[in-house]
Amino acid sequence: MKHVIFSFWFMIIHTISYTLAGMFALKISKDIYDGKSRVLDYLKDMGNTKERKYVEIWFLPAQLLRGLILSFVLYPILGPLGELSFLIRLFFLAGLMFIYTHIGSAAPCPDNIEGFVYLKDKYFNITSFFKFQLEMIIYTGIFSTTCSFFLF
């Protein structure tokens, strides 16, 4: 039962953190997500009503599923995580989320190491790279602080 409760709250915290960071990022990153000349023209256009509606429908279920799957990885170390001090747990979770799900991800994206190596110049530019980092730092901060405080 401990694992079910952990996964439930992990999903909720992930989804809220991701939503808050994404809302902020969208405000400062219209050039990345919106319009025909957007940087990430392979993503759905948030300026296109039909495409935006699709994202609005699937955003919440997708983030809940991501949160659930991410929570499973921590099952074997829940006990030891709970024994760590708040600060060490916070830095562990922040590092895990920022490094493993973002900057060190194996999928080439315009905000990670693989993207720097494999993406065409049109998709990898320094301005967009830093905007993505800001979004992920916000997400990581909200997520790791909330999880460290409430889940252990």
Residues 29-77 pLDDT 10s? 877 877 888 888 888 998 899 999 999 999 999 999 999 999 999 999 9
Are 101 and 95 spatial neighbours (Cβ–Cβ below 8 Å)?
A: no
Are 149 and 35 spatial neighbours (Cβ–Cβ below 8 Å)?
A: no
CA distance 23 to 139: 11
Query: Distance of alpha carbon 102 from its chain centroid, rounded?
Result: 7
Are 8 and 137 spatial neighbours (Cβ–Cβ below 8 Å)?
A: no
Greater confidence, 46 or 145? 145
Are 73 and 3 spatial neighbours (Cβ–Cβ below 8 Å)?
A: no
Domain that holds residue 61: 2-150
Of 3-12, 26-35, 62-71, 88-97, the one with minimum mean pLDDT is 26-35
For residue 63, give every residue at least 6 positions away whose Cβ sits within 8 Å of its Cβ, in sequence order, or none.
14, 15, 18, 19
pLDDT of residue 32: 80
CA distance 33 to 149: 33
Domain total in the chain: 1
